Every structure is written in C-alpha cells, then in structure tokens.
Structure 1
C-alpha cells in the first residue's frame, strides 16, 4: 500500500488534534480524506493528552500529594484538554438511551444543551470509577499509575478510530458524527488497533511491577487485555447506539471514548 502524501498526513494530524483536543491546532481541511487521516491519528491525541495528565499527576506525587489527589488530576486533565467533550457526549447518549423514546426523539433529547438525570447519574458513576481505579494504581506505584493514565487515554481514542470504520452509518446528516462516519477502511482500523495494542503491551513490559510467569511479564498480558477489553466495551455500546439511533453522532463518539477509558482503567486496577 502506498503511504499517503506528506501534506495529507499533516492535514490528518491537524484534523485529529483540532477536533479531539483544545490544543491550538487549526484544521486546514474538513473533507472525508482529512477526516480519514484524522481518525487514524486519533490514538496519537491520546498519547499527548495521557502523557500530559500523567506528568501533572506525577509532579503532585513527587511534591507529597496523596494518590487520591493524583488520581483526580489524572482524570481531570484529559477532560480539561477536551473541554469535557467526551463526558458531555456520554451524558447525552445516557439521556437518549434512558429516555426510551423513538430514535428521532432520542436524538432531539441528545442535542439539547441541558443534562438530564440519566446523564448526571452516568457521569457520577463513570468519574467515580475512573478516580477509584487511578487512585489504586498510583497508590501501588507511580509507574502503574502513569502507565494506566496514558493507556486509558490512548484506548479511548483508538475506540474512535474503530467506530469511524466503513459500514458504520451516521445518525444525522450533519455534525462531527456525519463528518467521520465510515471514513476509515476496516483493514486500516484493524491495523491501527493491533499496532496500538502491541505498543501498549510493550509499555507494560517496560513499566511492569508484577514480575513474570514462564518468562512473560504479567503486565504485557494485563495491558493488552485492558486495551482489548476497552475496545470490546466500546464496540458493544457502538452497536447498541447504532441500532437505537440509526447510526453514530458526535455524542456517541464521546460516549465510546469515556466507556473505553473507564474499562481500561478498571482492568488495569485488577490485582
């Protein structure tokens, strides 16, 4: 396969960082090709946001802060660097799914600016789960906490790459969901997923603290399973939302990211 031109790859990176973060990156093109490159580059956004969150959390630990405070910061920094975009999406799809209304009415509920009771409850439990898992991980060791912070952020954006694959329709004709729905070829999405899982497993081996079994570090398996479990959870939610709403929206993408991140953290915290 011939690699894309350098200019197109640059536009893909700009699309990824410009739409998935608050970093001052100008999106130069808003077409299907740029969207394809952007969604393939989405895990790189997770690397940057996750490393930023881990850095701030580790600085607090080294200054004498408790693991719980480091965990709160590690969960808060990605939210700040995305303007709470994914958390807002999670709350919206919780309201839409919880309403029990037909697809058109559910989509209208999701588009409203306020958050209903389903969204509030979902946000509370998801954030509690993330902070609880991160607190345990940072309490175990700074390395496990930092690794989990980065891996969960990457897994969250990898779920977006897979959700943008060919065959997944958009629920609306406009919005971010319509711009990225179906832009990534299935083979390309799977290749990125395999590459990210392999890199995450290698990082687990480098920062692992659990020793080995039959010469294989425990953290290789643990980290790889965390990524795979995150993708599986996001896939289940994606299929349910596609059946329920008729396709994906920007809110669905946000909900998938938070679902994947939370699942990865829970798996990584299991002893």
Structure 2
C-alpha cells in the first residue's frame, strides 16, 4: 500500500469518524479500506479528548456522575452521533424480525424505532454508570478507562471490515469497506491493545493490567458475536452495523474496567 493511499486513508478516517475538519481528496475502495484500518487512531484522539473533558470536570468538582455524562456527551458530539445512530438502526433491524431486505429498509429509514430508542437509552446509562463507578476513585482512573474503551471500540470496527466479511448491500459504506482490512493489521491492533493494557496497569496497578486485557477481550468478543449475528441476519455488514460494533465493544470494555 502506497504512502499516498495511507495518508488519504487516515484523512478519510477522521473525515468519516469524527467532526475534526480534514481535507478529503480521494474516496475509493483502497482508501476506504485504509481508513477503516486507521480507525483506532481516530479512537485514540477522540478518547483522549473525551478523557480530558472528564478529567477537567472532575477537577472542577462537578461530581463523578456529571463528569461521566459530560464525557459521554463529548464523544457523541465528536462523532456526530454516527456510531450511536448505527447502533439504534441495527437494533431496529434486528428487532424487526423481518426478512433481510425488509430489515435493511427499516435500518435505512430516517426515524428511530422503539428497539433503537431503548438500546441507546440503556447503553448511555450503562456507560455513565460505569464511568461514575470508576470516578469514585478520582477522575484519573475513569479517564484512562474511557480512553482505553474508545480505542477498543475502534479496533472492533476494523475487525468488522476484516477478511471474509461480506457486505449486506451492493452499495454504501459497507460495500466499500467489507473485507478490506487484512489480518496483519488486525494482529497489529490486537498487540497495541495488549500494550495499552500494560500501560493501564503501570498507572493503575498490576492487577488492573489484567482487568484491562480482559476488558479488551470481552469487548471484542461481544462485537464479534454481534458481527456474526448481523452477518447471518442481514447477509453482511452495513455502515450501521459497523457503528453498532464500535458502541458494543466500547461499552462492554468499560463495564469490565469498572468492576474492580
């Protein structure tokens, strides 16, 4: 892969997955694939910004719950609610109990159904609750956990674009990125998560390194189960499914990190 394609892919990753203004000059399948491979880098930046908001709120004395809510809201703003919208649409599609073509039409509709509303409500409540629990020991542990969980969620997105994963539609984001991320890239990001768990342990203590590693494994396993189910149900991935993978993996990782 050329340096130009990698650079274009990184810009496209930030252009699609965040509100950070970037100049996107090229959009094709090779660049889109590189963008999905770069998704964890976007997560590192967004997670760092949200963690900074959480730490600042904690320093200002807002209380653990308010600080957690502000951090979750910051992530939603930084992503334009893209992944949350994907999660809601995927929940509506899976909950519709309709054949794949009809379920895909449900997902593409502009409104959000009851399954989507409930899924979003519970996910946000769970994330705020987990961060509030971590925040009882200070904003530092909560901020570190949030950053780690956000990156884990974006590794799940890369996995969703891995080898052998089909697209549910002949067009759209899913068709452009399905099967574009190689096994070598996925292995590299897995090793990055292991290293990140080690760094988390250096800050929080040796036991917490194992907890962070378990959080990453649990988050990615939950995303893999959702990916398998959605692929069977819809015939492949869509952009909405990828967003659902991000939110599922990040939420599960955050819950595991908060159990200490």
Shorter-normalised TM range: over 0.9
Aligned-residue offset at 1:205: 1.9
Structure 1 position 248 matched with structure 2 position 245: no
TM-score, normalised to structure 1, is 0.93
Tell me, yes or no, if structure 1 residue 227 matches structure 2 residue 216: yes
d(CA) in 1 for partners of 2:113, 2:173: 22
Partners of 1:88 and 1:254 within 8 A in 2: yes
Say if 2:198 is the partner of 1:202: yes
Distance in 1 between the 2:199 and 2:66 partners?
24
Q: Give the aligned partner of residue 169 of structure 1.
A: 166
1:123 matches 2:120: yes
* Residue correspondences, number: 260
Looking at structure 2, the residues matched to 10 and 187 of structure 1 have their Cα atoms a distance apart, in angstroms, of: 19
Deviation of the 1:63 alpha carbon: 1.1
Q: 1:64 aligns with which of 61, 81, 88?
A: 61
Is 2:8 the counterpart of 1:19? no
1:237 is aligned, of 226, 229, 254, to 226
DSSP-derived class of the 2:136 partner = helix
**Which of 135, 139, 164 is the aligned partner of 1:138?**
135
Contact 1:197 1:228 in 2 (8 A): no
Instruction: Specify the alignment match of 2:145 in structure 1.
Output: 148
- Correspondences of 1:22-101 after superposition (within 5 Å): 22-101=19-98
Distance 2:137 2:107 in 1: 39
**CA root-mean-square deviation:** 1.1
State the Cα distance separating 1:11 from its structure 2 match: 0.9
Q: Aligned-pair distance for 1:12? A: 1.6
Gaps of 5+ in 1: 212-216
Show structure 2 runs of 5+ residues with no match.
Answer: none
